[in-house]
Each structure stands twice: as structure tokens, then as C-alpha cells.
Amino acid sequence: MALRHDWTKEEILEIYNKPFMELLYEAATVHRQHHDPNTVQVSTLLSIKTGGCPEDCGYCPQAARYHTDLEGNDLMSVNQVKAQALRAKEAGSSRVCMGAAWRNVKDGEEFDNVLEMVRTINKLDMEVCCTLGMLTENQAQRLAEAGLYAYNHNLDTSEEYYKEVISTRGYEDRLKTIDNVRKTNVTVCSGGIIGMGESEEDRAGMLVALATLNPQPESVPINALVPVEGTPMEEQEPVPIWDMVRMVATTRIVMPETQVRLSAGRTQMSREGQAMCFFAGANSIFAGDKLLTTPNPDVNEDMEMFKMLGLNPQKAFEKKAQPESVDADKSQYQSKGEKPRWTRPGHSIDRNLQAQEKAKTKA
């Protein structure tokens, strides 16, 4: 399946609403064409500055205007971040994402400290991701020079529904930050949240906004809203697991080479539900007891689940996507005299290559 950047909302809605088993099969097929289905990246999300945010995101307990039980903290020190990164690596994480509750990055001592955190984690041979709010082109370049691997800036939802979620930052502001990151060698991580009262059309609209970017984001987190008391969305009903699987599957189909990240809301999912998400194309999770401020499964529970499902943690900087077709895969590696990464005895891609060879021999 070749990459497309011209998806329409109608096409994506048609995929999203396919009979469940058909959707699951198609997504799993696409996933196996582009990724190792038994490999899932484990990432750790670390809140390096919590609370006091001037934004009014309706889902977020870090907004200063909402009355939640969140305990804020000032920016962590470089040594504190390094210690947590080392613990994360020992527990199996290959990526650390640092989040700060800022509306936008401001040049100065705090940003300089973040740059040093990036350099420090980069030396640990881990992927480093940041989510710090809006960035200028110059700030994005400075992060790139420090060794940042990815920058997260979620679209959250469709452009049409966005105004129901947040008023202190426009949709174009988010797209501008992504554009500034794209001017560097830093990869883009951008996704959204379902369960905020949006319609299926809004979910499709968010995927249209992401899938029509060229290039598409290297990572797309799919979050299920975790309602927090004191926020405007505290009364929202939990997202059904079927909706999460459909969203993961649709994301996988329209963005086949992207790392689809099963993010917030996993504490509400059974292992069976998470397994369906992996089958549908999710190939990344966040480990640790918290995702910034919301609960998350314990890392030991995740490792037990990995063992049960036969999943292997992905290594840092490991190639994530396969070429767009088996023929491209074959020619790419034959020219180098190498064997494709995913071509191993018994693997589906290996069988496909063998079948092609037999067909050519008979012809």
C-alpha cells in the first residue's frame, strides 16, 4: 500500500465504519507490510514542569484556571531528569519524552536547561522527545542541534471541533509549530484524543489533517480521554474499547509507516483490549505509573503483558517502517548485498518473497 497524502474525510469515515472484523484484518495486513508485528516500542513520559499552564484545554488538569488536586512543580534539574531516564532505560524504555506545562517556549535559563536535558539523555543512547508547547523556527533548530529526536505537538481533534476544546491557542498555531519542527531534522509526533464529545466525523477530520501532511508524522499518539475532576470534561463517559481499536486501525491504514502510539487511557483497557489494539497496528506504548498527570499501568504489568503476547521491546533508533512494497524491499537490499531486516524464516514477508521467486521461475 503506497503512501497517500490526499485522503478525504469521506474515505476515512468509510474505513472507520467498516465491519469490525474486516477493518481489523485490513489494518493488521497493512501493519505487517510495514512493521514487525511482534515489536512494540516502550517509551517513558516525564513531566519536567507540572501545572500552572495559562491554556484552557478542557481535558487538562495542568491548566491554572481549573481547580484540581494536581500538585505542581517547577522545572526539574538536569540531574533529576538523568536519574529518571536511567531508571526508564533499565525498565526497558528506549525513548524518553519530556513534557513541560508551557503555552510556548520562552528563550532563557529554563529553555537552556531543557537543551542540556536533551543532550544528557541523548548520551544515554535513548531517543529524546519533547512536548513544550509552541516553538519558533529558531527554537526548533536549537533543539535539533542539542540532539532532539522527536517533538510532540498534538492536534487534539478536528479543526471544526477544536474550538470546543481550547480557545487560548488556534489550530493554525499547532500546525505552525509542526511546520517549524519540519524545517529541522527532528521527527514529528502528533496525534489526538478521543472521548471529548467529538463525533466520528471529527475523528476522521483529525486523521485527515495528519495524513495529508507531507511527510506524514513519524509518530501519532491515540489517546483516550481520562476525565479529571475539576476540568470541563470531568463528566465525559469512558471511551469504549471498540472505538479505540477502530481509531488505531484507521490510523494504521491511512498512515502505514507511522508509529501509532497507544497512549493515555490504558488503565481503562483490559489486556485483551490492548492486544486488539496491537493487532490493529499500535506499536508503541508509554510505560510508568503516570502519563504526565494521569494514571498509567505499572511497567511490570506491561512487561508481563508483553511476555504473554510474545512482544519484544523496540530498540532506540531502530528502523520502524518497511519499504512500501515487497518488491521495493527486495531490490533495496539486493543492491547492497544484504538480507532485509524483516526477512527471516517463517515470516510473512519472507514467504511473500519466496512465492514471488517461485512464480518467476515457473514463468
Query: 3-class secondary structure for 283-313?
Result: EEEEECCEECCEECCCHHHHHHHHHHHCCEE
- From 4, 32, 53, 252, the catalytic residue: 53
CA dihedral angle for residue 340, residue 345, residue 350, residue 352, rounded to 10 degrees: 180
Listing DSSP states for 74-135 in one string gives -PPPHHHHHHHHHHHHHTT-SEEEEEE--SB--TTHHHHHHHHHHHHHHTTT-EEEEE-SB-
- From 95, 142, 261, 266, the catalytic residue: 261
Q: Is 53 a catalytic site residue?
A: yes
Q: Is 277 a catalytic site residue?
A: no
Listing DSSP states for 159-192 in one string gives HHHHTTT-SSS-HHHHHHHHHHHHTTTPEEE--E
What are the Cα distances from residue 279, in Å, to 36, 149, 156, 218, 300?
11, 27, 24, 19, 21
Burial of 283 (0-12, 13-18, 19+ CB in 10 A): buried
Q: Is 97 a catalytic site residue?
A: yes
Q: Which residue type does 302 have?
A: D
Determine whether the annotation assigns residue 266 to a binding site: no
Q: Is 261 a catalytic site residue?
A: yes
- Which neighbouring-strand residues pair with 294? 291
- From 95, 129, 203, 277, the catalytic residue: 129
Determine whether the annotation assigns residue 277 to a binding site: no
Contact 154, 125 (CB under 8 A): no
Contact 94, 101 (CB under 8 A): no
Report the alpha-carbon distance of residue 340 to residue 343 in Å, rounded: 5
Determine whether the annotation assigns residue 129 to a binding site: yes
Report the alpha-carbon distance of residue 259 to residue 284 in Å, rounded: 7
CA end-to-end span of the chain: 25
- From 95, 97, 169, 246, the catalytic residue: 97
- From 189, 246, 266, 277, the catalytic residue: 189
- From 60, 95, 252, 277, the catalytic residue: 60
Determine whether the annotation assigns residue 189 to a binding site: yes
Contact 231, 68 (CB under 8 A): yes
**Can you say whether residue 336 is alpha, beta or left, with left for phi > 0 and alpha for psi between -120 and 50 degrees?**
alpha
Q: Is 189 a catalytic site residue?
A: yes
Q: Which residues are annotated as a binding site for [4Fe-4S] cluster?
A: 53, 57, 60
Q: Which residues are annotated as a binding site?
A: 53, 57, 60, 97, 129, 189, 261
Catalytic residues: 53, 57, 60, 97, 129, 189, 261
Q: Which residues are annotated as a binding site for [2Fe-2S] cluster?
A: 97, 129, 189, 261
